[in-house]
Structure 1
Amino acid sequence: MNLSNFFAIGINYKKNDASVRGQFAISTEQYAAILQKAVDYAIKELVILSTCNRTEIYGIAQQPEDLIHLLCSETIGSEALFMERCYIKQGKEAIHHIFTVSAGLDSQILGDYEIVGQMKLAVKFAKEKGFVGSFLERLFNTVLQSSKTIKNQTALSGGTVSVSFAAIQYLKEHLQDIPNKNILLIGTGKIGKNTCKNLIDYLNTTNITLINRTNEKAIELANELGIGTANFHHLPSLVDKADVIIVATNSETPILYKENFEHSGKKILIDLSIPNNIDPNTAQLSHIALVNVDDLAKINDATLQMRQAEVPKALAIIQEFEAEFMEWLDSRKFVPVIKAVKKKLEDMNNCEMFHAVYATKQHQTSTDEAVQKAVKNMAVKLRTQYQPGCNFIEAINDFITISSN
């Protein structure tokens, strides 16, 4: 493939607040619809990553506008707004960007490792739909190996800083007598689950009620952690009783509005969702403290300073894995030549004249083995000294020699 046709296009937290990012957040249903439409654009390899920090589309296309139009055909936000706020990375720059994203170097909270699980799910979904070919398969395998190496060999993700943990830090700073406060947690996805565990581990409280639209998931997690659960239909009464409400759902529209709190007591609301699942207008109420992922990302401490010192090590590891991928990609340009030579060698073996000349010796080494060895030798020579004509002649000589020994 032509590397100039590979693009990474998206918007993230650097230029867009949660309200804008929410307009381009992609649900599973939207993701599936986009992949269905991709056929009309002759796009065969495509992955979309949508998190609280970003929405990015990675794909092979004739022009970036095709990917942008395709993505925005399913978003609330307009194509014009996306074009105004997005970044477009091409070729090697796009590849490097994906490596940095997977490592947590481009996260709103430096080193946030939750991105890895989200990237794996995004690739898995696209692969199941047939949109991960040899290029993206190899790229993301290498990217995830790089991320794992960075996790194991550096302290970039060390300590306890993530969006879900930042919520815990916020509560520590703004709430007294936490074990006696009623906490309502809505959502049992990865972020919701991590937040729930952090509440128990770091705030020493089990005074938590967990709810989810799919009640079975809430019951399963609640039983595992030894906390309470309730049916989603009881949300209004649970909201009234709660001192703290944490929302980590993936609804396309808010599930809680200003009207839900106009006559309530003092509450802390934490919205970990993109798009916002708590109406931002709720913050207008004087007795309500509402924070979202952008607010939480501003929390800084010694752990983040330590992570910053690990950035050069992480970049050095990325450089090694990028070089490995580019070497693989470079070798791919010889695939058509190698396939053609292999076909010629197989045709030679089916030629009666070849059999007549080498009839006494040709079966001493299996034909398949002879072809494989000759093609392998040619592949090595192509990478070191690209001379197609000479390499082809040498492959024929190798095949005859190997066949005869």
Structure 2
Amino acid sequence: MNKSLRYISVSHKTASTIQREKYHLSDTEKELLTHLIRSTFSDISGLFILATCNRTEIYFEAIHTTKNDLTALLIDFKSIQNKTSEQMVFISSNQTETSIQHLLEVSSGLESLVFGDAEIISQIKKAHQFSMHYKMQGSLLERALQAVFKTHKRISNETNFRDGTTSVAYKSLKVIRQTYDSETVKSKKILFVGAGDIVKQLFKYNSKFNFNNIYISNRSLEKAIILAQANQCHTYPWEHVLSNNFDDFDVIISAASNCPNLINNISASKKPLLIDLAVPCNIDKRLKEIEHVIFHDLDSISVELEETKEHRLAATDEVNGIINEEIESYKEWLEGGLLRALLAEFKIKVHTKVKTQLNTIESSKITLVTNQVMKKIMVQNELTINVDDIDSLICEEISSLHI
């Protein structure tokens, strides 16, 4: 029986945040799960585990093991009750073509919560390295991942789908770079207020900007310290934020939850850049009326993001066209592989017959006749040739070669 590429998936499209959290896999859990899958299902030759904040997906190459088998194992592995109802949060397939289509749509960003998110390809590369570490690529899976990387490159080169950004955090950092001159911008003193997802994204995207004088302040000092240590920056006392003591800062990006008008007074000694990413707003909008203040909020930041989203939506047909072309290439490779396997099996039969008719153990003669017979069969495109005809072809070759 032939192998198939299969998958199971729980994502933001099928499950709530609380439901998704139950299936999130840490690096340690991925290792344990890999060992469990290998020991439970001996027919699985390829395994690819993708775990992000918005999805947990497992792609696997198997002969007998089904999507339901692996879903049940994952539910048990995570010690989740109500197994029957939990099955409803998954989408899955046992078909190779459907599985690779889903993988290509996910890897391109079409299925991302942030439409067109390019970050997913880095996560896929990391998951690929994990599979290679455990020698669990599998031929179908490895070819599928090569299609992923080729598709990603084609989308970047052939469409406008990757143009712009849809992240308010990334856009905010870009505003800093656009506001100050290139010689001094990296040393500007920057304050992040809050410690939630947006601030975490600010730190993540700063790797592309390399601002090196960042401070963080948060109601919970412990959370601020954790982020500061992880990102080699400094903490700033929350009390100073409450008293609006910002004299030393060039830039303030505020994203603290439930702190309306937290920032309502700015010294006239500087020309600060204020960016308010909070809902409700952290920064009193009256501050933007001060002549020397440069002010942005979610509305102004989001204008360009909406334009980016519209451009990406306009390029969706082109992206789907590329995906369909790569699926067709994969299917051609798959069909070629089946033909190669059939030819190899057929050649073994011919080889055995040649060896019997020649009545010799001299491998060079056996190989010569076998190859000549196979060439004639391929020219005639007759893999269904009957036994008598094969015998006749062998006799002809032996005679013509004077063996």
TM-score range (shorter-chain normalised) is: 0.5 to 0.7
Which structure has the bigger radius of gyration?
A: 2
Partner letter of residue 28 of structure 2? E
Q: 1:209 to 1:103 in 2, by over 3 A?
A: same
Confirm or deny: 8 A CA contact 2:355 2:366 kept in the other structure. Answer: no
CA distance in 2 between counterparts of 1:370 and 1:125 reads: 46
Q: CA deviation at 1:70?
A: 2.5
Confirm or deny: 8 A CA contact 1:283 1:290 kept in the other structure. Answer: yes
Identical counterparts, % of pairs: 22
When the two chains are superposed, the root-mean-square deviation of aligned CA atoms in Å is 4.9
* Partner SS, residue 112 of structure 2: coil
Q: 1:268 to 1:84 in 2, by over 3 A?
A: farther
Calculate the TM-score normalised by the size of structure 1: 0.64
The equivalent residue for 1:169 is 171
Q: CA deviation at 1:391?
A: 12
Q: 1:15 to 1:34 in 2, by over 3 A?
A: same
Structure 2 gaps of 5+ residues are: 217-226, 247-251, 264-276, 280-297
2:210 matched to 1:208?
no
2:146 matched to 1:147?
no
* Partner SS, residue 115 of structure 2: coil
Aligned residues: 335
Task: Pick from 309, 313, 318 the counterpart of residue 314 of structure 2.
Answer: 309
Q: 1:72 to 1:388 in 2, by over 3 A?
A: farther
Confirm or deny: 8 A CA contact 2:46 2:136 kept in the other structure. Answer: yes
* Partner SS, residue 109 of structure 1: coil
Q: CA deviation at 1:109?
A: 2.0
Which residues of 2 match residues 6-405 of structure 1 at below 5 A? 6-38=5-37, 39-42=39-42, 43-59=44-60, 60=62, 61-75=64-78, 79=83, 82-91=86-95, 92-161=97-166, 165-169=167-171, 179-183=188-192, 194-198=204-208, 200=210, 205-208=211-214, 231=229, 238=235, 240=237, 283=257, 300-348=305-353, 350-351=355-356, 353=358, 368=367, 371=370, 375=374, 387=384, 389=386, 393=390, 397=394, 400=397, 404=401
CA distance in 1 between counterparts of 2:392 and 2:130 reads: 42
* Partner SS, residue 130 of structure 1: coil
Partner letter of residue 170 of structure 2? I
Q: 1:16 to 1:37 in 2, by over 3 A?
A: same
Q: 1:233 to 1:345 in 2, by over 3 A?
A: closer
* Partner SS, residue 235 of structure 2: helix
Confirm or deny: 8 A CA contact 2:350 2:390 kept in the other structure. Answer: no
The equivalent residue for 1:247 is none
CA distance in 2 between counterparts of 1:391 and 1:143 reads: 47
* Partner SS, residue 182 of structure 1: strand
CA distance in 1 between counterparts of 2:240 and 2:376 reads: 71
Q: CA deviation at 1:322?
A: 0.7
CA deviation string 1:160-193 (max 9, x = no partner): 33xxx431336789xx999544248999xx9777
Q: 1:233 to 1:316 in 2, by over 3 A?
A: closer
Confirm or deny: 8 A CA contact 2:47 2:58 kept in the other structure. Answer: yes
Q: CA deviation at 1:111?
A: 2.0
Partner letter of residue 401 of structure 2? S
CA distance in 1 between counterparts of 2:357 and 2:396 reads: 16
CA distance in 2 between counterparts of 1:119 and 1:377 reads: 45
Partner letter of residue 87 of structure 1? I
Partner letter of residue 400 of structure 1? E
Q: 1:87 to 1:325 in 2, by over 3 A?
A: same
The equivalent residue for 1:219 is none
CA deviation string 1:17-75 (max 9, x = no partner): 43432222111111111111112133332211111231111123532221112323443
Partner letter of residue 11 of structure 1? V
Confirm or deny: 8 A CA contact 1:45 1:132 kept in the other structure. Answer: yes
Partner letter of residue 44 of structure 1? S
The equivalent residue for 2:269 is none
Bigger relative CO (Cα 8 Å, ≥ 6 apart): 1
Structure 1 gaps of 5+ residues are: 211-228, 245-260, 271-281
Partner letter of residue 26 of structure 2? S
CA distance in 2 between counterparts of 1:171 and 1:391 reads: 77
* Partner SS, residue 333 of structure 1: helix
Q: CA deviation at 1:303?
A: 1.4
CA distance in 2 between counterparts of 1:316 and 1:234 reads: 43
CA distance in 1 between counterparts of 2:192 and 2:113 reads: 26
Q: CA deviation at 1:195?
A: 0.7
